[in-house]
Chain A
């Protein structure tokens, strides 16, 4: 029995069932042999990596990659992402902690001070539904930890009617799922109680509270804008009426403003609310925070390239995607990097006791662009005039470069990261505009920092305009950046030799400047450099009824000259250290830089309409068949039938006469298929598919007509 046939048999059993359990081994026996083969093949891999699975990683380098390296990549992925992820989770938890504390305090106080009103916390979450989810999860955790209480989360999509809401609330409270295991008794009692009352009777809740007293029952309306105002107006007074018996506390997630919410409620309802408003941290600042610790920090294992980062950030703004989607994209980038890049384990290989690189690895890295840049550099520096065999020389150099490349690449990466981040910080230290850190980082990742840059010109300009005090502060900041680094970016003191030189120079300048300042102070003059514009005056003279403007530079005092020199020296010293190449030019950057936009875009922002349009308009793109490729006008009869019909569909107006469509279809297809009934079968199938895809629907405007629904 051929496997195809057997498949269809297996399918046929379950075709029209709603759901079934997939279990090929309990199927017919003919399925077995092939199955066993596959299992045995699989067990080989699985057994070899019993402790640390390969996560389904496949050997790269055309399958030549050794299992050790496959395993290493999987392991590296787990380690790297694990590290970054835990960091992100901490940050997210931290970010809401203020709000959580405030809400907890309010809830505690409101219980006593609310009198006959119902305590309600209005939490302004901003428009992002997805981040609300996280917030309410945290609220639920922290509030239940703070006091013995129950937490019920309601979403507008579930809230169809008052009765359904009450049912849900009662069920969630009495089921007591928040309690740890071993409380089966409790659960039973809850269910028992429920049985005695109608399932939307709050009396049940009251009875339950008697057996298992708790301080608060929190009802959280996650997206309060989504609830019908009538429903809210019914619920709130109801809760308030029961408050003497059941300790309700309300939480509202508000995306817009409390005023708008209030306007939707009845006045009498508003009067029953004892409320306070809390602002959750806006997603923008959370994003910056996460960005710093997870993307830009000095010790992140994988660096994300500029263009990809930019598209990820744009998605945050344009599509109001939550921080979760940013984290997902980041995770996906990590996954891609370790899953598909054979060079990814090179840096870490020595530390993980991996064997020497395979020949294929060496070949791959010799083909990488950063390696070639490095090779060119080596060759330019060496003297090739007295070399006889040039090609042998090249091979030699390449081999030299490739040996022990892992550790060298690691060192170069560290240098680059240290320089780049510090450079970025220095630039930001003078920047007056409040550009986001993420933006300037993305720019740096794309183009590096070069003295010829626009940003550098701005930098020079700004430093020149500083007065002595500001300059002193600035130099102090730069020294700090190089000696202490940055806490948030996990940047330690710099260990580079050139930075040491820079530091001594800067320290010298500081002392000089301080001295100069003191001197000026004693003399009672103010210090100016020649750039500050104080020493030029514009003179107006009128000669023969014409006005002449002339700039006049007053002579600089000795101190001013000194000041000018210090400014110039500072700029020169810092600029020299600010030359940062774009990351992809660093030696073997391929092993720690991930920068391809396409996978992320395809996976997270699909464009199904384009895909459908393409597959129906140009099936040969997918099928790669010869019959449909040659592009001549008109509809080719060899196309898949739905394609043919689709192309006719494109030419129709908003109302389509099926009889005419059939005539056209028949005319087109009959070149290939003679039998009219068979053509009709094809026509039926294509038309049914167009309908299923949502292209047409029935129309009653005329007999045998259908209406067009899509203009792709």
Chain B
């Protein structure tokens, strides 16, 4: 262990070292067990006998801490004992650490692996912890008693401390085995609780292990890059460029579909035997179903008439009512619109009166959002179990089978077939809107800031003033909330109303509401209720955009 300063030096020096080093250097140094004891004091907020000693060392460590960039940010996330504190520190706050509560921790935690460290105590059983804490305290006391002794921790206290340490390490290494732990190659160390996480995650972990690896507590470590530099696509641009593009796998995709089409006779047979068919796999199966419909169309069993209805489960506007009334039309019956159960009965009645008719229903995206609801699936299952109805469905997501419980499943009587097509979802998805929604930029629809100014131009002076007020307040709120930004920043309705009255924008709540309604209609504001029911208003734009809008309004 060459790089150590000195074995018997005061803990101050030790604290300035990196965790790995320290863990080694402290092997014989009795100051090591202070971590738990400190934690305890954080929790209780009391002063120990050891206070004097540790206080001295804490000052040093703090100076060390300040030398590091942004020590404050790391503090709160690392110490589990301090959960009571506000979760989000002010990013630009001048006071990095609350000096009163547990000031010595930051210096220890200023290292990069803050998260790992706090994972350990959380995992430990409470009983273990308290025993360990007591023993640790005993150890410290003995250390304080004879400062320079570098004897091994003795007695029961030492044993408890050691053993729990051991366990902790074991637990950790169990968590992700492949991680190269520095503590592993230094078998006798007591300070090996701190462990450097290797920068690249271990490869080829089973998925459940990966899940836990990725969902460790603590802040996710992603960069702060944003897409602000990139001008996002508009619908027009997207479709223009899309039309120019050709897929290099086009011919293979065609082949794949032709391959699936070879199964049509088999599927027809299965349908005729009372099975429903469910096609799953990656890619849009709409063209395939269309082709299947064409195949089925002439293949009517002798003595029967067949009607084919295609349902688009992905279409945003799809309702059960539409589907049922279309099914009725296919039987040349006009089913009066009503609640679906009523329509269902009317449909079944008309089916019963035409026993030679076979109704074939092809459902595109049976797991599409509009018909995902349990009631819709029940209705479909009811249809599928009718002897005169044949059902073919396609499912696009990998989780479609969770839609049905065993009752529905046996009503559907599905035969599943892998029909991976690799076709793009051209109709099923509204790509541009979907991506923008994913990124939290819904308002692109009205063309951002130009759209807003266009809308505002057509509104009276009052409305413009109110919007200016609102934007200003939202911006202030964003400043206060910090980095996050986006649409989740809201301002209280009541507060805005009061300000609006103060500034003579409106005189009554009625008038205020009317103005807001206008904004709502143009989708330039949103409102929601928070957990305790306060109504919050917000403007669905990013910070930069809001600033620009505000500038426009001021000028």
Residue from A158, A603, A642, A693 with most neighbouring chain B CB atoms (10 Å): A603
- A23: chain B residues at CB < 8 Å are 308
0/1 interface trace, chain A 313-344, chain B, CB 8 Å (1 if under): 00000001110110010011001000100000
0/1 interface trace, chain B 414-438, chain A, CB 8 Å (1 if under): 0111101010110111111011011
Within 8 A of B (CB), among A562-593: none
Binds B, one of A354-362, A399-407, A532-540, A676-684: A676-684
B430 → chain A, closest Cβ, in Å?
8
A24 to B428, CA, bound (A): 22
Given known A654-B214, A658-B227, A688-B429, contact A129–B407 (CB-CB < 8 A): yes
Contact A693 B208 (CB under 8 A): no
A682 to B418, CA, bound (A): 25
Contact B406 A320 (CB under 8 A): yes
- A16: chain B residues at CB < 8 Å are 312, 315-317, 427
Given known A623-B256, A684-B233, contact A21–B308 (CB-CB < 8 A): yes
A244 → chain B, closest Cβ, in Å?
29
Please give me the residue from chain A that is nearest to B238 by CB atom.
Answer: A681
* Chain B interface residue bracket vs A: 35 or more
Given known A130-B406, A684-B435, A694-B397, contact A606–B280 (CB-CB < 8 A): yes
B131 → chain A, closest Cβ, in Å?
34
A704 to B214, CA, bound (A): 19
A58 to B214, CA, bound (A): 52
- A14: chain B residues at CB < 8 Å are 310, 312
**Cβ-neighbour of A693 out of B312, B396, B416 (below 8 A):** B396
A147 to B453, CA, bound (A): 74
B530 → chain A, closest Cβ, in Å?
14
Q: Does A11 contact B (CB under 8 A)?
A: yes
Contact A19 B440 (CB under 8 A): no
Given known A17-B315, A615-B282, contact A692–B396 (CB-CB < 8 A): yes
Within 8 A of B (CB), among A119-158: 128-130, 132-133, 155, 157-158
**Cβ-neighbour of A680 out of B230, B270, B272, B327 (below 8 A):** B230
A712 to B210, CA, bound (A): 10
- A11: chain B residues at CB < 8 Å are 286-287, 290, 427
Q: Does A50 contact B (CB under 8 A)?
A: yes
0/1 interface trace, chain B 192-216, chain A, CB 8 Å (1 if under): 0000000001000001101100110
0/1 interface trace, chain B 284-298, chain A, CB 8 Å (1 if under): 001100100110011
B408 → chain A, closest Cβ, in Å?
9
A663 to B409, CA, bound (A): 44
Q: Does A497 contact B (CB under 8 A)?
A: no
B421 → chain A, closest Cβ, in Å?
9
Contact A685 B424 (CB under 8 A): yes
Binds A, one of B178-186, B458-466, B482-490, B521-529: B482-490
Given known A15-B427, A703-B226, A703-B484, contact A56–B272 (CB-CB < 8 A): yes
Contact A708 B214 (CB under 8 A): yes
Contact B322 A18 (CB under 8 A): yes
Contact A604 B415 (CB under 8 A): yes
Q: Does A419 contact B (CB under 8 A)?
A: no
Residue from A56, A133, A653 with most neighbouring chain B CB atoms (10 Å): A56
Please give me the residue from chain A that is nearest to B267 by CB atom.
Answer: A56
- A42: chain B residues at CB < 8 Å are 298-299
Q: Does B309 contact A (CB under 8 A)?
A: yes
Contact A18 B315 (CB under 8 A): yes
Please give me the residue from chain B that is nearest to A328 by CB atom.
Answer: B413
Q: Does B10 contact A (CB under 8 A)?
A: no
Given known A18-B319, A698-B440, contact A656–B410 (CB-CB < 8 A): no
Contact A696 B438 (CB under 8 A): yes
Contact A681 B241 (CB under 8 A): yes
A680 to B232, CA, bound (A): 9
Contact A681 B315 (CB under 8 A): no
B314 → chain A, closest Cβ, in Å?
9
Given known A322-B410, A692-B434, contact A38–B298 (CB-CB < 8 A): yes
Binds A, one of B16-24, B76-84, B145-153, B245-253: B245-253
Contact A335 B270 (CB under 8 A): yes
Q: Does B12 contact A (CB under 8 A)?
A: no
Binds A, one of B63-71, B217-225, B546-554: B217-225
Contact B362 A57 (CB under 8 A): no
Residue from A17, A168, A642, A703 with most neighbouring chain B CB atoms (10 Å): A703
Tally of A interface residues using CB under 8 Å = 106
Within 8 A of A (CB), among B330-376: 330, 341-342, 345, 349, 362, 374-375
- A698: chain B residues at CB < 8 Å are 437-440
- A694: chain B residues at CB < 8 Å are 397-399
A531 → chain B, closest Cβ, in Å?
51
Please give me the residue from chain B that is nearest to A51 by CB atom.
Answer: B302
- B437: chain A residues at CB < 8 Å are 698
Contact A689 B425 (CB under 8 A): yes
Contact A706 B210 (CB under 8 A): no
A346 to B44, CA, bound (A): 87
0/1 interface trace, chain A 215-230, chain B, CB 8 Å (1 if under): 0000000010000000
Contact B323 A19 (CB under 8 A): yes
A653 to B201, CA, bound (A): 9
Please give me the residue from chain B that is nearest to A646 by CB atom.
Answer: B282
Q: Does A602 contact B (CB under 8 A)?
A: yes
Q: Does A611 contact B (CB under 8 A)?
A: yes
Q: Does A177 contact B (CB under 8 A)?
A: yes
- A177: chain B residues at CB < 8 Å are 345, 349
Within 8 A of B (CB), among A659-712: 659-660, 662-663, 677-678, 680-682, 684-685, 687-689, 691-694, 696-698, 700-706, 708, 710-712
Contact A324 B410 (CB under 8 A): yes
- B413: chain A residues at CB < 8 Å are 324, 328
Please give me the residue from chain A that is nearest to B254 by CB atom.
Answer: A4
Within 8 A of B (CB), among A1-37: 7, 10-11, 14-24, 35
- A17: chain B residues at CB < 8 Å are 312, 315, 322
A322 → chain B, closest Cβ, in Å?
6
Contact A685 B299 (CB under 8 A): no
Contact A133 B410 (CB under 8 A): yes
Q: Does B111 contact A (CB under 8 A)?
A: no
Residue from A24, A604, A622, A700 with most neighbouring chain B CB atoms (10 Å): A622
Q: Does A430 contact B (CB under 8 A)?
A: no
Q: Does B94 contact A (CB under 8 A)?
A: no
Residue from B255, B266, B362 with most neighbouring chain A CB atoms (10 Å): B266
Task: For the A-B complex with A612-B281, A619-B249, A684-B238 known, give 7 more contacts whose Cβ atoms are closer than 8 Å.
Answer: A21-B307, A39-B298, A57-B269, A157-B374, A681-B233, A688-B438, A710-B398
A-B contact pairs, 22 of them (CB 8 A): A14-B310, A18-B318, A19-B327, A128-B406, A130-B409, A155-B378, A171-B345, A602-B417, A608-B398, A608-B401, A612-B281, A625-B249, A657-B223, A677-B241, A684-B431, A689-B424, A689-B429, A691-B435, A692-B425, A700-B440, A705-B222, A711-B211
